[in-house]
Structure 1
């Protein structure tokens, strides 16, 4: 059975707050709230950072945290956090004698009641719009507000044993989902969206089976249907790095790019995965491009061990692509660490964070050009013995001819 230790996660975060001398940590990122409590709702929508539909978790150094949600989310929040030590308060978007219309006022009242008069508060405002930021600043004028140190994000970057087990199972699901779509492409006569839907149906059924057999499903909190959209391009659309599956009919001799990184897998966790399917032989130029991308991938994988500086991976991988004349066709960074809604650490130039054992990350050197694409994206579990491949599909272009 999959069961997360939300109480232990909260306690570890509280220990960090004490070490940093912060009285209250205000958590707003949906992935972080889910990590600490099991609740997510519709929190990925931008309006849920704003007072009218605010969702936030306020964690004190000691004692019971407060989860503030709009009334529309209250019943779900109670079900999702059934066994988590939390207080839940809700707010509404209208004037009411029975319900608060002041979301941030609920948070301020909690802090004034539970903390010292000169409480230090941490919050990450970097992702908030001005519309979301101003009401917070107005409500907490006079308090000492310090930037979020990133300690909670670092806690989430290193996976616990239950998360690693989920990633392993999700990796098996990714491989089977890819196989379903590969076989559909081989049969032919389908649009990009038809292939993606076959994979999605397989994914939903598999996730439903796990929810029913491997979780305590008495309150029906978890859904097997994710909110992500699959990226799938073919033929002239291969220059689109973020091309969702369209109505284009896949031709028998097309190159097809399948990217499953935006598909949620078991209990909302995400993996990075992508492969190119060639339904025809590559010409000599395409073979050279493909060989260069494969070399850059191997360079990146060879660096996946504890202590490696993240920036060094991106620079090394991209250097291979640039030296091979492919610089103009590189559209994004080399990868990122993984979790639920979180992107985590970008495997990008300038990121000085070092890899640690039990991180889970995706490596994806890629080039996109008119009529051709070459990329390999895989997810790895970082261990002291070396990287462990979780998405067990051959690490190369897949051919059908």
Structure 2
């Protein structure tokens, strides 16, 4: 167990009157144990108790033989894992449960232990994961470095006349060649009018001269995610598209320039949104300015107009303003930003200025 993280969680449990907790999200279990286990539909749970009587309930199907610093309680497919868990839970006391634990497990536990009070305790780990330690910062920088290299290789492929879907397939190969562990999310590669959909699906569209091309890509490396968007032009850039591009680029830069401890997330969103609105495209900026990222592409926390939380050192999030004109094109420019002690660090180094692929 990663004791520093565990101790912080136990303190938060006490502060919130949650004496015991079931951690069931594989990514949260990894955060505490350093071991990523993908259980599929099967049950896995890490039981935490402020009296430190911790247990890891795990199916024998998963060969986790190394010492994780917590006692393992094994079961197999013929056993009722929830029943086994219920026998370790302190009766009559509040128990925190992950927000994503399947109802078939949670409802069964509630039927077995009717005298317990059940609360959503995901916020305890999720809020701690917002602050990256030095090792996590290193891993995030490395994932973004791989993503920078992948972006360059991907842009060079535009000359080959591949469809959006074929580009995504090539990207998977690029990541493998660069040593990444796969996609952190399904890539968004959108030509021309397809880019007007912020979450476009890669299709059979072929790139054409004058197309505005959105490349929103990310990989996983050592269980940490990267995410970056660049918008480029193919062979030529129409004047209107260039105008919109420059507005989005300036919005991206203005928002990032705000990042430092003490600033609110909503202030960053406002910096991007107000500029785009001032230029007459406010109604075409249809999403929040960014999201937190780490072990998951979307960690807890976002850069939005309603998030008044204060920035603190160690936080990492995206800044990705966009303008989407239905039936025409879209532009989005995204960087990952780390809050430092006195300012910020941009994790993406790849060029984001206007670029025409010849």
From 96, 104, 113, give the equivalent of 1:122: 96
- Which residue pairs with 1:381 in the alignment? 338
Do residues 86 (structure 1) and 63 (structure 2) align? no
Shift of 1:367: 1.7
Shift of 1:252: 4.2
Q: Is the 8 A contact 1:275 1:398 kept in 2?
A: no
- Which residue pairs with 2:269 in the alignment? 314
- Which residue pairs with 1:256 in the alignment? 213
Do residues 189 (structure 1) and 146 (structure 2) align? no
Shift of 1:204: 1.8
Question: Kindly tell me: are residues 320 and 136 of structure 1, through their superposed partners in 2, closer, same or farther at Cα, counting changes over 3 Å?
Answer: farther
After TM superposition, the runs of 4+ consecutive aligned structure 1 residues lying more than 6 A away are: none
Q: Structure 1: state its 5+ residue gaps.
A: 209-223
TM superposition score normalised by structure 1: 0.80
Equivalence map 1:289-368=2 (5 Å): 289-341=244-296, 343-344=298-299, 345-368=301-324
From 172, 176, 179, give the equivalent of 1:200: 172
Shift of 1:363: 0.6
From 2, 5, 19, give the equivalent of 1:23: 19
Do residues 155 (structure 1) and 144 (structure 2) align? no
Shift of 1:163: 0.7
Shift of 1:372: 1.4
Question: How much is the aligned-residue C-alpha RMSD, in angstroms?
Answer: 2.5
Q: Is the 8 A contact 1:203 1:265 kept in 2?
A: no
Quote the Cα distance in structure 2 between the aligned partners of 1:133 and 1:327: 43
Equivalence map 1:195-274=2 (5 Å): 195-207=167-179, 224-226=181-183, 228-260=185-217, 263-274=218-229
Q: Deviations over 1:131-167 (max 9, x none)?
A: 5653343333211334427232121111111111111
Q: Higher helix share goes to which structure?
A: 1
Shift of 1:393: 1.2
Q: Structure 2: state its 5+ residue gaps.
A: none
Count of residue correspondences: 356
What is the DSSP-based 3-state SS (H/G/I as helix, E as strand, rest coil) of the residue aligned with 2:195? helix
Shift of 1:268: 2.2
Shift of 1:366: 0.9
Q: Is the 8 A contact 2:234 2:356 kept in 1?
A: yes
Quote the Cα distance in structure 2 between the aligned partners of 1:279 and 1:241: 19
Q: Is the 8 A contact 1:70 1:90 kept in 2?
A: yes
What is the DSSP-based 3-state SS (H/G/I as helix, E as strand, rest coil) of the residue aligned with 1:89? strand
Q: Is the 8 A contact 2:314 2:340 kept in 1?
A: yes
Shift of 1:341: 2.3
Question: Kindly tell me: are residues 35 and 56 of structure 1, through their superposed partners in 2, closer, same or farther at Cα, counting changes over 3 Å?
Answer: same
Question: Kindly tell me: are residues 61 and 234 of structure 1, through their superposed partners in 2, closer, same or farther at Cα, counting changes over 3 Å?
Answer: same
Shift of 1:89: 3.1
Shift of 1:111: 1.8
